[in-house]
Amino acid sequence: MVMNDLCSEYPEACIAIPDRPIYTVRVGHPRTKRILIADDHESVLRGLRATLEAHPGWEVCGEAVNGYEALTKAIELKPDLIILDFAMPKVNGLQAANEISKLLPGVQIVLHTMYGAKVVLEAHKHGIFRVIEKAKSGALVSAVEELLNANVEQTAGSDFTTRSAVTPPTSIKAD
C-alpha cells in the first residue's frame, strides 16, 4: 500500500519515516485476536471457547473436531493463533501443526494435550510454540496471552498486508 493511501485511510494513526516501513498505531481500537481451536471432544471445545472469549480482545473464529478440519479451517480463516489437541482423528495435532506451519508460517500454534511432557520435543519439531497440559487451564490462557502479545510486537503494521491464498497439500487427506 502506498503511504498516501494509508495515511488518507488512517490519518490519525500514520507515522512515516523516510526510507523506513510505515508503522501504524490504532489508539482505542485494538485489533481483535482470532483463535482457532481444535479438539475431538465437544465439551473441551465449549470450555475452551468460553475461557478464551472471556478475555477482552480475543475471539474464537472457528472450531475443528479433527486434524484435517483444523488444517482446512486454518487456511480458510487465517487465525492469529491455533490451539490443537494432540490425539485427534484423521490427522493428529502434530501432523496438522506441521502442515499449518508450512502453509501459514506466521501463525502461533499451541498443543493442548493430556500427554504433556511426553510430546514436547516432538512438538517443537513440528512448528508448535507451546505444549500445555489439559489439566492446567490457567497455563493455557497465560501461554495464549504471551504468544499473542509477542505476535503483536513482531507484526507491526500487519493489518495492511494480505496473506496469499493457499490450499491443503495433497499429501494430507481426510479418511
CATH of the domain at 62: 3.40.50.2300
Task: Identify whether residues 1 and 35 lie together within a single domain.
Answer: no
Helices (H), the chain: 3-9, 42-53, 67-77, 93-103, 120-125, 137-154
The number of domains in the chain is: 2
Task: Identify whether residues 23 and 47 lie together within a single domain.
Answer: no
Distance CA 132, CA 97 (A): 15
Q: Which domain holds residue 6?
A: 1-28
Task: Identify whether residues 100 and 153 lie together within a single domain.
Answer: yes
Task: Identify whether residues 24 and 49 lie together within a single domain.
Answer: no
Task: Identify whether residues 105 and 59 lie together within a single domain.
Answer: yes
Distance CA 22, CA 7 (A): 9
Task: Identify whether residues 9 and 72 lie together within a single domain.
Answer: no
Task: Identify whether residues 119 and 153 lie together within a single domain.
Answer: yes
Task: Identify whether residues 78 and 17 lie together within a single domain.
Answer: no
Residue 131 lies in a domain: yes
Residue type, 84: L
Report the predicted TM-score, pTM, of the whole model to 2 decimal places. 0.70
Give the pLDDT confidence score for residue 52 in this predicted structure.
93
CB 70 within 8 A of CB 82: yes
Give the residue, 55 or 117, on which the prediction is more confident: 55
- Taking only the tens place, the pLDDT of each residue in 7-55 is 555 554 444 444 444 444 444 446 899 999 999 999 999 999 999 999 9
Give the residue, 47 or 156, on which the prediction is more confident: 47
Task: Identify whether residues 5 and 76 lie together within a single domain.
Answer: no
3-state DSSP assignment of residue 21: coil
Residue among 173, 169, 144, 164 nearest 34 (CA): 144
Q: What is the mean pLDDT of residues 87-107?
A: 92
Q: What is the mean pLDDT of residues 127-135?
A: 88
Residue 173 lies in a domain: no
Confidence of residue 117 (pLDDT cuts 50, 70, 90): confident
* CB neighbour class for 113 (10 Å; exposed up to 12, middle 13-18, buried from 19): buried
